[in-house]
Chain A
Amino acid sequence: MDSSEARDHIEMVDRILAESHQRLCSGGEYFVVWGIGSALVTVLFQLVNGGTVPLPALWLVPAVLAACAIFSLIRGGVNQRVLRRSSLVQREFFNVLWLTLGLALIVNLAVFRIFTGTASAAIWSVAEAIVLLYIGMHGNRRAQIAGVLVVVSLIAANFSPPNVTGYVLAAGMLAGYAGFGVSELLARD
């Protein structure tokens, strides 16, 4: 092989690698569903804490989370069969996503005596911020902005009056997490 042919091959490889999408090929819908689900749960905690809604309404929490989980499992199965390509980065995204959200779920369902009320809801914001900023680390600008939004909502919630803390957290989840999902769906090829 001569040098001009070698250059031609190297240039082709460089072009292909540069075009390799280092972003989610799918998954926007997961962020939308979990963003809305976690915001609902957070608002519910706020309403129960404020006495607007009776305590037994908290039984809705596992129902909402289970609905999100069932959607994710079914959608994941369909995507696995239908998608034309699946990136290695995407697999990593989902590993981090499931680990983080799984831990948040355990905290919500089994550590509620330590993380009471809005603290339990804030765990979701922390988990979602980790997921988004991890994706952002791989060069996804929208995820970086969304992650910062969730972190800002956490800090804002901390300094908000107690009767609106949950709403501020929920707004962060909707704008940051669900918002990122919507932006991914809109950007899909």
Chain B
Amino acid sequence: MDELLLSKVRLGVVAELLNYEWVAFTELARALDVSNGNLGAHIGKLVEAGYVDEEKSFVNRRPLTRYRLTKRGRDAFTGHVLQLEAILKAAR
């Protein structure tokens, strides 16, 4: 199994990004109902692993950080979900 995606928050981040070209940090925190600090730590690991790309900019002098899923992240997510399904199948 993918060690990084064993965390529910990190798996949630990747699932949130799956159907989107990009999603802002604040939007991810709202959707996943996690604190900014907690989310920042988890996303940092995903960025470091190359699963997620980070883009920082300023809109009306306020910082905007947004994320997009990389091919590596998408492949890792697919493999991880397949393994989760295999665990469920084996348990039946």
Contact = CB atoms under 8 A, between A and B. Distances in A.
Interface string B9-32: 001100110111111101100010
Interface stretch (B37-45, B46-54, B80-88): B80-88
Instruction: Tell me the dominant secondary structure on chain A's binding face.
Output: helix
A2 B84 CA distance: 9
Given A13-B15, A86-B22, A88-B21, 18 more contacts: A3-B87, A8-B8, A9-B8, A9-B84, A10-B88, A12-B8, A13-B12, A16-B15, A16-B16, A16-B31, A17-B15, A20-B20, A22-B19, A81-B57, A83-B24, A84-B26, A84-B27, A87-B20
A87 B84 contact: no
Instruction: Tell me the dominant secondary structure on chain B's binding face.
Output: helix
A6 interface: yes
28 contacts: A1-B1, A1-B87, A3-B88, A3-B90, A3-B91, A6-B87, A6-B88, A10-B84, A12-B8, A12-B15, A13-B11, A13-B81, A16-B15, A16-B31, A17-B18, A20-B18, A20-B19, A20-B20, A81-B59, A83-B24, A84-B23, A84-B27, A85-B23, A85-B24, A87-B20, A87-B21, A88-B21, A89-B19
B20 A86 contact: yes
B3 to A, nearest CB: 11
Interface residues of A, number: 25
Contacts of B84: 1, 6, 9-10
A139 B27 CA distance: 24
Contacts of A87: 19-21
A50 B21 CA distance: 48
Interface size class of B (residues with CB under 8 A): 20 to 34
Interface of A: 1-3, 6-10, 12-13, 16-17, 20, 22, 81-91
A86 B81 CA distance: 24
The 8 closest A-B pairs by CB, nearest first: A3-B91, A20-B19, A6-B87, A84-B27, A16-B15, A85-B23, A84-B24, A86-B21
A1 B64 CA distance: 36
A3 B26 CA distance: 32
